Amino acid sequence: MKLLEISNLVVYYSTLQSLVKAVDNISLEVNRGEAVAIVGESGSGKTTLALSIPRLLPDNARILSGSIQLHPEKIDLTKLSEKELRKIRGGRIGMIFQDPMTYLNPVMKVGDQIAESIVHHQNCSLKEARKKSIELLEKLKVPDADNVASRYPHQLSGGMKQRVMISIAISCNPELLIADEPTTALDVTVQAEVLELLKNLIRELKTALILVTHDLGIVAETCDRVAIMYAGKIVELADIYSLYKDPKHPYTIGLLNAVPTIKESQSRIHIMTGSIPDLTNPPPGCRFHPRCPYMFEKCMREEPPLINFNKNRYVACWLME
Amino acid sequence: MSPLISFIIKKLVQYIPMMFAVIIITFILVNMAPGDPTFILVGEVGDEEFVRAARARLGLDKPLHERFLIYVSNVLKGDLGYSYLRSEPVAKLIIDRIPATLLLVLTAMFFSALVGIIIGTIAAAKRGVLDISLSTFSLVGISIPYFWLGQIILVIFAVKLGLFPLGGMVTVGRNYQGIDHILDVIYHLVLPVMTLAIFNLAYTTKITRGSVLEALTQDYIVTARSKGLPESKVIFKHALRNALIPVVTYTGFNTGVLLIGAILTETIFAWPGMGSLLYDSIRLRDYPVILGVFIYGSIIIIIANLIVDILYGLLDPRIRVR
């Protein structure tokens, strides 16, 4: 059953000199209870894509065209009034951000930051909301939750703060959680813990998850499907199993090769040469062609469409033709 | 001992050398200024012997460094000396006048902070035409000098329109009691407060606007919006609280500016406070009173800074006194 349907979304940033095409004609569907990863390098547009769903983009961003429909009502989030959208933000869509240090208000007690959302969406008293926020923290295995709720962010560790962030996001039982690099700012050991919590949580609450990350390692443990983004486009979309077993797009292959493993006795990590193109002026044809080892003449001329070639597998590459 | 009290004591100890510097600098400056109090007392054409006797009586016949040592040792004993002209102890003269000045300065401070914070926040939140006009207003407000503004306000509201009294703190000869007295004082307070508050109001608006704009670019604002909070809550609850620290700093620092403004304002509106006392004393070269007013003024500024330090902790848990 469909929950979210993004169709032909185009998001531009306007800077003083030029337009940056951060998200260029992207379509993606997310089903109820499904966990979808959006993977890409910095600058690939993955965060822009995620933030455009609840329309939390910076002031200089414009959703130029396309639609983002929330099912079953098929409300188009890109056309909704701010007032209507506020019921959905925090209520039906919860957000988890990258750095819990900067994304939590430094002068508010963390318990109050969780309770605020509950009071706003569920119309209950502050006292009830505070009680609920402590329960949420307990659910996220925060020791001594009662005490933690009355602390300020700077008094908590990174892992604890991210649990607070997650509590805020799930406080009103959203149908969709959007997590933008939720573990990037954390220590490796804490990363695993937080990821495990997140995974169990979405199973338990039957919440859909959009996980934005550059780390293919954490995707395998958490998600059902993966969308690989490159320079504002989805280049490959597949279920997790097929993607790891049989990656199709040269970029995906490159990414997977760049993940270090301890099983193979490789002394070197394969690196991809080059970097993401300038999005104010992307290369013609396939945007990956300047870095692609299999590039041929057509790649420079024509842009490959996202082709469905096997059940739920999509690839945008002329090699697949 | 509670941490707050030990914090206050620590701060006060830090202020002791500052007090000394204030006494030294004002003593030297006051004595370097041209004019001689004896001539004001006995007139410029007095008998030479008479003038010499008057100088000796005031202690002005001794060399500067000796007079300084005598003054400092007296101050340390809590004795600020006698006024040359009013034959009253300086301390009593000042203490009688302090409530009027504090009433004026604190009202102006409260009013300008409150309104300035609200206007500044709205300017930051709305942007566009409203922001431009509010910013223009604040630029104008910052640029107007007190002495000019005070006289214009006096001419318009008291002389032409007759809405408010010309000056003073109470209506002479009425002897109001209780609530009537309070209302009468408020009636007299309006124009001086307006004069004194405008600069501060304009500056607070400017600082609040900048500070709120800065806070609105922070990540936690995105979190607040992601909760679905209305923009008013995002701004007043999340951005403003974080933006208040520079505003409080400014308000504390500005106590000194307000006290100086009070000198001019009190003089214009014949407000019976420390400011008009200082103005008269400077005119009449009443050295002990001038020095005394400076010492009391410094104490008021020190207290204001102490309050700012305590407010910091209330506003920002990260710098809370431990």
Written as one string, the DSSP assignment of B126-149 is H-HHHHHHHHHHHHHHHHS-HHHH
Interface check for B128 against chain A (CB to CB < 8 A): the answer is no
DSSP state of B159: I
SS3 helix, strand, coil % of chain A, rounded to 5?
Answer: 35, 25, 40
Q: Within 10 Å of residue A106's Cβ, how many Cβ atoms?
A: 16
Is B82 in contact with B291 (CB distance < 8 Å)? no
Chain B residues with CB under 8 Å of A48 CB are none
The pairing of strands A2-14 and A61-70 is: antiparallel
Decide: helix, strand or coil at residue B193. helix
Confidence at B114, pLDDT banded by 50, 70, 90: very high
Chain B, nearest residue to A169 by Cα: B227
- Tell me whether residues B224 and A105 touch, CB distance under 8 A: yes
Determine the pLDDT at residue B104: 92
How many helices and strands in chain B, by DSSP H and E? 14, 0
Q: In Å, how far are A220, B106, B161, B180 from B255, measured between CA atoms?
A: 61, 9, 32, 30
| Cα distance between the two ends of chain A | 30
Q: Report pLDDT for B127.
A: 76
- Residue B245: pLDDT band with limits 50, 70, 90: confident
Q: Order of strands, edge to edge, in the sheet holding A61-70? A: A19-31, A2-14, A61-70, A75-76
Are the beta carbons of A210 and A38 closer than 8 angstroms? yes
Report how many Cβ contacts below 8 Å link chain A to chain B. Answer: 75
Residue linked to tokens 């002897």? B175
Residue of A nearest to B239 (CA): A105
d(CA A315, CA A308): 7
Assess whether pLDDT exceeds 70 at residue B164: yes
Q: Are B106 and B113 in contact (CB under 8 A)?
A: no
* Spatial CA neighbour of A42 closest among A302, A230, A282, A185: A230
d(CA B238, CA A269): 45
**pLDDT at residue A195 tops 90:** no
Query: What confidence tier does A1 reach under pLDDT thresholds 50, 70, 90?
Result: confident
**Residue B209 DSSP SS3:** helix
Q: What is the pLDDT of residue A268?
A: 63
For B280-304, the pLDDT digits (tens) are 888 888 888 998 998 888 888 888 8
Q: What's the whole-model pTM score?
A: 0.81
Q: What percent of chain A has pLDDT over 70?
A: 97
pLDDT class for B252, splitting at 50, 70, 90?
A: confident
**pLDDT confidence bin for A282, thresholds 50/70/90:** confident
The interface pTM score, or ipTM, of the predicted complex is: 0.87
The Cα of B203 is separated from the nearest Cα of chain A by a number of Å equal to: 25
Q: Which amino acid is at B65?
A: H
| Partner-chain contact A168 B227, CB within 8 Å | yes
The larger pLDDT score, comparing residue B120 to residue A276, is at: B120
As a whole number of angstroms, the distance between CA B221 and CA B218 comes to 6
pLDDT tens across A73-119, in order? 888 888 888 888 888 898 899 999 988 888 999 888 898 999 999 98
Question: What is the mean predicted confidence (pLDDT) over B136-160?
Answer: 85
**Cβ–Cβ contact B34 with A under 8 A:** no
Which of these ranges, A13-17, A92-96, B211-215, has the smallest mean pLDDT?
A13-17
The domains located in chain B, with CATH, are 3-76 (no CATH), 93-315 (1.10.3720.10)
Q: Can you give the pLDDT at residue A99?
A: 85
According to the model, what pLDDT value does residue B320 have? 67
What's the confidence (pLDDT) of residue B321? 54
Tell me how far apart the alpha carbons of residues A292 and A255 are, in angstroms, rounded to a whole number. 12
Residue type, A165: M
- pLDDT at residue A156, rounded to an integer: 87
Look up residue B236 and give its two tokens.
């007043």
Regarding beta strands A313-315 and A233-239, do their DSSP bridges make them parallel or antiparallel, or are they unpaired?
Answer: antiparallel
pLDDT greater than 80 at residue B35: no
Of A5-9, A16-20, A23-27, B216-220, which gets the smallest average pLDDT? A16-20
Residues 6 or more apart in contact with residue A156 via CB below 8 angstroms: A110, A148, A164
Chain B: closest CA distance from residue A280 (Å): 24
Residue at A173: amino acid letter: N
Q: Do B317 and A106 touch (CB under 8 A)?
A: yes
Which residues of B fall within a CB distance of 8 Å from A92? none
Residue B176 has pLDDT above 80, yes or no: no
Check CB contact of A97 with chain B, cutoff 8 Å: yes
pLDDT at A269 over 70: no
Q: How confident is the model at residue A40 (pLDDT cuts 50, 70, 90)?
A: confident
Report, as an integer, the average pLDDT of B38-50.
Answer: 74
Vertex B14: Cα angle to B13 and B19 (nearest 5): 90
pLDDT band at A288 (very low <50, low <70, confident <90, very high): confident
Is residue A178's pLDDT more than 90?
Answer: yes
As a whole number of angstroms, the distance between CA A68 and CA A50 comes to 11
H/E stretch holding B2: none
A123-170: pLDDT as tens digits: 888 888 888 889 888 888 888 888 888 889 888 888 888 889 989 988
User: What's residue B108's pLDDT?
Assistant: 92
Interface with chain B: mutation pick from A105, A120, A123, highest number of B CBs within 10 Å? A105
The answer to whether residue B322 scores a pLDDT higher than 60 is no
- Show contacts of B41-45: CB within 8 Å, 24+ apart: B41/B84, B41/B85
- Split at pLDDT 50, 70, 90, the class of A212 is very high
- B297 contacts B140 by C-beta, under 8 angstroms: no
The arithmetic mean of pLDDT across residues B73-88, rounded, is 84
Q: Which of B127, B218, B220 to mutate to test the interface with A (most CBs of A within 10 A)?
A: B220
- Which segments of chain A are extended strands (E)? 2-14, 19-31, 35-39, 61-70, 75-76, 93-96, 176-180, 208-213, 225-230, 233-239, 307-310, 313-315
Lowest mean pLDDT among A67-76, B40-49, B284-293: B40-49
> What's the pLDDT at B33?
79
Element (H, E) at A321: none
3-state helix, strand, coil in chain B (%, to 5): 80, 0, 20
The pLDDT value recorded for residue B107 is 92
pLDDT at B37 over 80: no
The chain-wide mean pLDDT, for chain A, equals 85
CA A205 centroid distance within chain: 18
B57 contact A CB<8A = no
> What type of residue is A59?
D
* A60-A62-A64 Cα angle (round to 5): 160
- The reply to whether A154 touches chain B by the CB within 8 Å rule is yes
Classified as helix, coil or strand, A38 is: strand
Compute the distance between CA of residue A38 and CA of residue A216 in angstroms, rounded to an integer: 10
Cα A2 from Cα A27, distance rounded (Å): 14
> A199 CB contacts (<8 Å, ≥6 apart)?
A221, A222
DSSP count for chain A of H helices, then E strands: 12, 12
List CB contacts (< 8 A) between A112 and chain B: none
Which two tokens mark A99? 């750095």
Q: Residues of B numbered 241-260 whose beta carbons fall under 8 angstroms of chain A's beta carbons: which are they?
A: 241-242
CA distance A157 to chain B (A): 14
Do B229 and A86 count as a contact with CB atoms less than 8 A apart? yes
Give the pLDDT confidence score for residue A262 in this predicted structure.
Answer: 64
